[in-house]
Amino acid sequence: MQTEIIISGFGGQGVLFAGQLLSYAALEKDLHVTWFPSYGPEMRGGTAHCTVIISDDEIGSPVIRNPTAAIVMNLPSLDKYEPLVKTDGVLVVNTSLVDRDPEREDLQIELVPANEIAEELGDKRLANLVMLGALLNHLDVLSIDEVGASLKRHIPAHHRDLLQGNIKAMQRGTALAAGEKLAT
Amino acid sequence: MAEKEWIETLIYTKSGSLTELGTHYCPGCTHGISHRLIAEVIDEMGIREDTIGIAPVGCAVFAYDYFNMDFAEAAHGRAPAMATGLKRVNPDKIVFTYQGDGDLASIGAAEIMHAAGRGENITVIFINNAIYGMTGGQMAPTTLPGQRTTSTPLGRDIEVHGFPLRMCEILSQLDGSAYVVRRSLHNVANIRRAKKAIRQAFEVQRQGLGFSMVELLSSCPTNWGMSADEALTWIEEHMVEAYPLGDYKVSPSIAVTKKDEGR
Amino acid sequence: MAKELLKGNVAFAEAAIRAGCEAYFGYPITPQTEALEHMAKRMPELGRVFLQAESEVAAINMVYGAACAGVRVMSSSSSPGVSLMMEGLSYIAGSEVPAVLVDIMRGGPGLGNIAPSQGDYNQIVKGGGHGDYHPVVLAPASVQELIDFTVEAFDIAEKYLCIVIILADGSLGQMMEPAELPEMKKVRSVKERPNWALTGARDRDPNIITSIYMDPLVEEELNRRLMAKQAKIEANEVRFRELMLDDAEIAVIAFGTSGRVAQSAVKTAREEGIRVGLLRPISLYPYPYERVRQIAGKVKEILVVEMNSGQMLGDVRIGNEGRVPISFYGRQGGVIPLPDEVLEEIRKIQSRINASE
């Protein structure tokens, strides 16, 4: 069983870190995992994305065309990855920065105003974790508790004060996803 | 009457830091003198067994055949980089490079500049004879304006080939340089001064004070098309003017050197 | 040791440290710079040598110098930087001192880009610098292999007094995977350095390390010595991994990241009932020609997959000796082929085989 997740957005939105968090959690659960980043000459801005593959078996290619799930943090990412997600896969859209609705009808779609929620929580940098929380509600491979535990272990020392905020952000994302699902 | 006793007094012998091998250098070339001076200094300092030399690409490519100590042969111009690698993993050894003008000032300009800039604790003996010797007398970065070489048959035209590089003047500007001086080998008095400078350069390294370089104005009678004597005179009359002798950088921590020694 | 999530560039740098690497000289170039940065932090902590050189030209000559002193020394770079190192590598080969280099390849030629590529195959595997020599070349396909082969590289380099190059690409340098690092090995003391090393001629004759032999007959002796060494390397150091080749009608041959991509495609093709297997050469020099020959005797067609315009293809042709048709699928310019593209090639070959039966 293999799960492929693409997380995509502007540089600085924390997409690479969100992917690493999934990878740490997978490692700690003794699963096979690859984290494959886009890397470019820009330190800030531009587009950034990463592919995380989690499997109970040895992973071949660390890159794939059609992911099981995608988190898209901005419009260019939605345009790029919406057509690529596998049928019945998950698409988590940051509606704060996307001004159109997704067109696919064969996906589990989660619309998350991640920037607004993050600002409500007092730190707009938390948008990536809100999105991640929303995704985790749809994935069997890792639970929010498992990702929370790996966040505790791997949050950089200079961001340790943000730990509780990060966890809260993930919970908000998960709750939102669960709530919206109940509503439909 | 008792038989007369002969008393032998040794007045000259080969330095212990040189091998028994005769050199391949042309008659009248001053490489032999600079080899001898380095060897004498190493003997006098008692550091032969702790010294590692690096030979260049150029006429002195086989210098390791003549020095009786550990030696490596570098790629053209790269001796300062190689010396850096050797010295950094052998910090208690004395590491010196022996480089000509093409090697040091042309193809190896970046390596010498950065070794000096880092204050690399190595000693460089720089042989400046204003010409490429080994390849047969082509223009060097130190060839004088108007000087005829096989690649400047009408003389070095500054409009085409630009100007000579004065390496002591350049390298002395770098903060990492501890001791950068120019001497000449064209007569006995200058040879004696050259030896003192070489000694000082090795002492600078022994004390860990940083980069040291002695530039030696040298002759190349073969490629200059002169006799040995004429070549020495040519150094005195032309090269010393273009490359003034003297101490270009003497770090304040080197107390024993007299500032005006070379002039 | 437990598995950690490690980035390829950091992983091989730390692996080298644990293998007893005493000195690292390098120059920043994407996508390998994290290795240099890791060395910059760790080597001084351990009292070892790290130096950022003024260029790759200088870096490899610093490696040459430190190698002459008999210490474990390495550099790492990426394609354009490795081109600049070719002069130094040739001198190191001619002087027969051990050295390790990691090439995290990127798109080219020229300045190209920083995306993953396998375009340095011919340059690295066939020698690269001037003159007759072969570095041993190992191609990892995972962060774990990057670690393991780096450790092994130092042993091989010292065993044969040769250069060992780890040939990986930007994706391996940049990706993170769980992997296990080796235990920290003790660094040799000066007294334990090899007897040929330049350590000062105390109580022994001077050691000379050089690569110039003006007499062609003497130079020929060096060449013959290198050839004899290569014969030993070819006999002892061939490495490869393979998958599902036993009953295969189609063999895919691919190295490094291409090999991993091909592995995914082969597994999917098997699920579709296609009898396909994978040969992933690990030692690119010495190349597993004999294994290619054996496989060519059993399968109906070979597919070579590379992230270049078909450089390893030449070696597969040598091993194949004209036995079966070989097709090639490559992406260039820093593009990684995706598993579905390779799968499509496998399917095409299968339908050719079906049509001919």
- Judge if C11 and C111 occupy the same domain: yes
| Contact between chains at A39 and C31 (C-beta distance less than 8 A) | yes
Task: Answer yes or no: are the C-beta atoms of B251 and B161 closer than 8 Å.
Answer: no
pLDDT of residue A41: 55
In this predicted structure, the answer to whether residue B257 has a pLDDT above a threshold of 50 is no
- Judge if C74 and C182 occupy the same domain: yes
- Judge if C253 and C230 occupy the same domain: no
Neighbours of B256 (CB within 10 A): 9
- Judge if C191 and C277 occupy the same domain: no
Which of A45-49, B45-49, B158-162, C56-60 is the least confident region?
Answer: A45-49
User: Which of the listed residues C193, C220, C236 is the one where a domain comes to its end?
Assistant: C236
Task: Answer yes or no: are the C-beta atoms of B100 and B92 closer than 8 Å.
Answer: no
Q: Does the beta carbon of C70 lie under 8 angstroms from any beta carbon of chain A?
A: no
Q: Does the beta carbon of C264 lie under 8 angstroms from any beta carbon of chain A?
A: yes
Domain count, chain C: 2
Q: Read off φ and ψ for residue C305, nearest 5 degrees.
A: -120, 125
pLDDT of residue C168: 98
- Judge if C40 and C165 occupy the same domain: yes
- Judge if C204 and C329 occupy the same domain: no
pLDDT of residue A160: 86
CA-CA distance, B182 to B244, in Å (whole number)?
A: 7
In this predicted structure, the answer to whether residue A141 has a pLDDT above a threshold of 70 is yes
Q: Please report, for residues A39, B212, C146, the alpha-carbon distance to residue B253 in angstroms, rounded to integers and kept in the order given.
A: 49, 13, 48
Task: Answer yes or no: are the C-beta atoms of B180 and B248 closer than 8 Å.
Answer: yes
Quick one: CA dihedral C60, B57, C161, C93, positive or negative? Answer: positive
B50 chain-C contacts, CB cut-off 8 A: 200, 202
Domain that holds residue C30: 4-236
Residue in the block written with tokens 């070979």: C302
Question: Residue A42: which pLDDT band, with cuts at 50, 70 and 90?
Answer: low
- Residues with Cβ within 8 Å of residue C16, at least 6 apart in sequence: C24, C74, C100, C150, C151, C154
**CATH number of the domain encompassing residue C314:** 3.40.50.920
Domain count, chain A: 1
Mean of the per-residue pLDDT values for chain A? 92
- Residues with Cβ within 8 Å of residue C100, at least 6 apart in sequence: C16, C21, C72, C73, C74, C75, C150, C153, C154, C157, C163, C164, C165, C166
The interaxial angle of helices C8-18 and C33-45, nearest 10 deg, is 30
C176 chain-A contacts, CB cut-off 8 A: 20, 23, 34-35
- Residues with Cβ within 8 Å of residue A105, at least 6 apart in sequence: none
What is the predicted ipTM? Answer: 0.94
Question: Residue A156: which pLDDT band, with cuts at 50, 70 and 90?
Answer: confident
> Nearest-CA neighbor of A70 among A3, A20, A152, A14?
A3
- Judge if C202 and C254 occupy the same domain: no
pLDDT of residue B260: 45
Q: What is the pTM of this model?
A: 0.95
Residues 7-66 of C with CB under 8 A from B: 22-23, 25, 49, 51, 53-55, 57-59, 61-66
**CATH number of the domain encompassing residue A164:** 3.40.920.10
Q: Please report, for residues B61, B64, B100, the alpha-carbon distance to residue B57 in angstroms, rounded to integers and kept in the order given.
A: 5, 12, 8
Q: Please report, for residues A79, B53, C25, C57, C271, the alpha-carbon distance to residue B84 in angstroms, rounded to integers and kept in the order given.
A: 53, 12, 10, 13, 57
Can you tell me the mean pLDDT for A33-59? 85
In this predicted structure, the answer to whether residue C1 has a pLDDT above a threshold of 80 is no
Q: How do residues B210-224 score in pLDDT, each as one tens digit?
A: 999 999 999 999 999
CA-CA distance, C202 to C76, in Å (whole number)?
A: 34
Domain that holds residue A115: 2-183
| Contact between chains at A20 and C5 (C-beta distance less than 8 A) | yes
Residues 25-44 of A with CB under 8 A from C: 27, 32-37, 39-41
Instruction: Tell me the domain boundaries of chain B.
Output: 31-250
| Contact between chains at C25 and B85 (C-beta distance less than 8 A) | yes
Q: Read off φ and ψ for residue C193, nearest 5 degrees.
A: -70, 155
| Contact between chains at C66 and B88 (C-beta distance less than 8 A) | yes
Q: How do residues A75-119 score in pLDDT, each as one tens digit?
A: 999 999 999 999 999 999 999 999 999 999 999 999 999 999 999
Alpha-helical segments (H) within chain C:
8-18, 33-45, 56-68, 79-84, 86-95, 121-125, 143-160, 170-174, 216-236, 256-271, 289-296, 313-320, 339-356
Which member of C174, C257, C339 has the closest CB to residue A37? C174
Quick one: CA dihedral B39, B41, B47, B50, positive or negative? Answer: negative
* CATH superfamily membership of B31-250: Thiamin diphosphate (ThDP)-binding fold, Pyr/PP domains (3.40.50.970)
3-state secondary structure of C3: coil
Task: Answer yes or no: are the C-beta atoms of C256 and C139 closer than 8 Å.
Answer: yes
B49 chain-C contacts, CB cut-off 8 A: 200-203
- Judge if C301 and C177 occupy the same domain: no
pLDDT of residue A179: 85
Q: Which residues of B touch C (CB under 8 A)?
A: 48-52, 54-55, 61-62, 64, 67-75, 78, 81-90, 93, 110-111, 113-114
Q: Read off φ and ψ for residue A177, nearest 5 degrees.
A: -65, -45
Q: How do residues B64-88 score in pLDDT, each as one tens digit?
A: 999 999 999 999 999 999 999 999 9
- Judge if C113 and C176 occupy the same domain: yes
pLDDT of residue B248: 98
- Judge if C187 and C272 occupy the same domain: no
